[in-house]
Amino acid sequence: MLAKLGLRLRIFLFFAALAAGALAALAAGLIAGYRHLASPAALSAFVEVATLAGFGILGLVVWVWFLFDLHVAKPVDLLAGALRARAHADVGGGLDASVARYLGDLAPAAASATASLSETRSALAEAVARETLRLSAENARLEALLADVPVGVLLCSAEHQLAFYNGLGVDLLQAAGAAGLGRSLFDYLHDGPLRLAYARLIATDDPDAASDLLCTTRGAAGVLAARMRLLAPKPGAAAGYVLTLRDVTADLNAYAAREALLHEVFERLGRPAANLATLIEALPDATLPDAALPLALERALQQEAGALRHAVTTLTQRHDQSRSEGWPLALTRASDLLDGLAARLQSEGLQESHDAAALLLRCNGFEVIGLLALLARRIGASPVQVSLTEDGADALIRLSWQGAVLSVADLDHWLAEAIDPATPEVTGLSVLASHATAIWPESTSTAQSLCLPLRAARREGPRPKTLSRDVAYDFDILSKAPSADLAQADLAALTYVVFDTETTGLNPAQGDEVVQIAALRIVNGRRLKTEVFDTLVNPRRAIPAASTEVHGITEAMVADAPFIEEAARRFHAFATGAVLIAHNAPFDMQFLRRTEAKTGLRFDHPILDTVLLSAVIFGQHETHTLDALTHRLGITIPEEARHTALGDALATADAFLKLLPMLQGRGLRRFEDLLTEVRRHGRLLKDLN
């Protein structure tokens, strides 16, 4: 309870209790003395003494309390208020130390703390302003880059709300209404293909997977080729996605017009060619006496008619085989297509079973699923069996059921319907036309079927390795001119290549060779994740078992690897214009410089050695192995990465990035200054510059 009271009130209560205790002690002493004397005549004297002493004690206590309150409690309160004002209210100015002159060094210490706080705030404000300005400039550059990207780019939440769009994205969306952040993507695009693609990406559980699709805009009915890729979600949140869009309406129209023209050409040429051949066959035999045509002329006509018929047949076949090459349609796995159809039918209460061959199909998955779901609904049978099989160079989807025979008239009527109420312009007939195919019924004694061939099928292979999507940028390069004089260059502004090698042994003079080279780049003090060099090397000799135990590289692993000459050329190109960094650089460099005669390249780069840099910072008396250095700097090397070229190069790079500000703190800011300091530690290692 007392802790809730103010300091001055607590001190007042302390002195009040002190006064009360003193008065109580005085009264007790006088009463004891009076009783000891047992003289009534002395009572008045005891009372007088008690009164005078009580007032004296009370006055003394009050006087001491007043001085203590004035010179201690009150200044402490004032000092605390001033400190809080400067700590929480951003009040400037120094403290008035005179109000706490009786508090010893407390007031100067508080004044020093507030001055330091003010300086720190000013420095922080300047740093924040500087960083804000830099981020604003980078943001403006990124906006400019995205504005010039030749595709529409949208970022959407898991609820399909727009969180970002670029200029071309706005143009594509505005065909269906004014674009707005926070609005649903489905206000502009029909939702079916997008929901299907999103569900497929979620089901794959692969953060780098992408889904290609075709979608249509609302209102203007434009057709957009899109690619969807999931964004990394926050913990416990659903993943949003990035959607890139390209308008292919004109491409589809042009493709459809070209296809219609070619179809008409082949149709109009094919029939006359067939008729001509039939008429020639009906001509009388020229060898008969009453023949109307000479034998040579008849044979010439037959040859030309046959050649024409063969040309039309051949061109038609070639056209059919190449019809899919210009399609703006994505490759879809047959298993994904039938899985999507199964989910659609089950959501509509239809039982199904399906079986798909391992094929890739070039088709609009949403439209094909919509068409098959429409036909399954109209058939009304349950369950239905869906199979997708290889049919020569094509694929054949067969929708089977038990029931009555389906008439061609009913099928034509159903194909005229929209596959989805949200897209009335997309009918079964338009789906067949866009895929250059047809559908027909078949009947057997055991089942009824609808057959839908799809062109451009090929066997499914393993999923390709996902390409890296890391983006590398450093806009400071735009505003910094490269230093013409390396010696005077700022250490933080240089480009570095940190590298390491693994070898068959430790003695190149006795024939040991490189089996792996790895390197990475540091630009403007930042390690670039996207710029990595890593290659195995065929040493043209056996790898000792003892060496394999260290780095894990076997002879089988390097059997197809490039020889050191090719690896050295590639590494030299990777390191062009950079300062090389290695841990114990003389060991690695002797292997590289042995290749100079064969490659015609010189490894004359400036070189820094983290062994020597460690000695500059920690002194020569310390241990400077890579393990010791990384331990001192708090860098952890995963056990599986230790003694691999890339793992050790990564550890060396991280160590250098931590050593760099320490070197700058010692006043070593220029490359020349650092080399001068490094050469003082030549007793450890030879400087290679």
Alpha helices in 472-604 (DSSP H): 476-479, 545-551, 564-574, 585-593, 596-599
CB atoms within 10 A of CB 505: 16
> Within a 13 Å sphere around the CA of 654, how many CA atoms are in the beta-carbon half?
17
Residue 184 structure tokens:
């649903």
How far is residue 496's CA from residue 522's CA, in Å, rounded to a whole number? 5
Taking each helix axis as running N to C, give the angle between helix 610-618 and helix 671-678, from 0 to 180 degrees, rounded to the nearest 10.
Answer: 80
Stretch (H or E) spanning 527: strand 526-536
How far is residue 648's CA from residue 501's CA, in Å, rounded to a whole number? 9
Distances (CA, A) of 513 to 440, 563, 677: 68, 10, 33
Alpha helices in 416-498 (DSSP H): 428-434, 476-479
Please write down the HEC assignment for all residues of 436-452: CCCCEEEECCCCEEEEE
3-state SS class at 594: coil
The order of strands in the sheet holding 241-247 is 162-165, 152-156, 241-247, 223-230, 210-216
- Look at residues 380, 379, 371, 348 and name the one whose alpha carbon lies nearest to residue 417: 371
How far is residue 360's CA from residue 376's CA, in Å, rounded to a whole number? 23
Count Cβ neighbours within 10 Å for each residue of 544-570 and write b for 16 or more, e otherwise: eeebeeebebeeeebeebebbeebbbe
Inter-residue long-range contacts of 432-435, CB under 8 Å, 24+ positions, other chains counted: 432/371, 433/256, 434/252, 434/256, 434/364, 434/367, 435/329, 435/363, 435/364, 435/367, 435/368
Q: Annotated catalytic, 643?
A: yes
Strands (E), 319-463: 331-333, 352-356, 359-362, 384-391, 394-401, 440-443, 448-454, 457-459
- Look at residues 460, 162, 420 and name the one whose alpha carbon lies nearest to residue 335: 460
Which positions ≥6 away from 512 have C-beta within 8 Å? 503, 504, 505, 506
CB 97 within 8 A of CB 107: yes
Write phi, then psi, for 534 (nearest 5 degrees).
-155, 120
Count Cβ neighbours within 10 Å for each residue of 98-124 and write b for 16 or more, e otherwise: ebbeebeeebeebbeebeeebeeeeee
CB 367 within 8 A of CB 434: yes
Which residue bears the tokens 């890296």? 468
3-state SS class at 355: strand
Catalytic residue (one of 354, 435, 551, 643)? 643
The DSSP code sequence of 545-575 is HHHHHHH---TTTTTTSPBHHHHHHHHHHHT
The order of strands in the sheet holding 579-582 is 526-536, 514-523, 495-503, 579-582, 607-609
Active centre residues (catalytic): 643
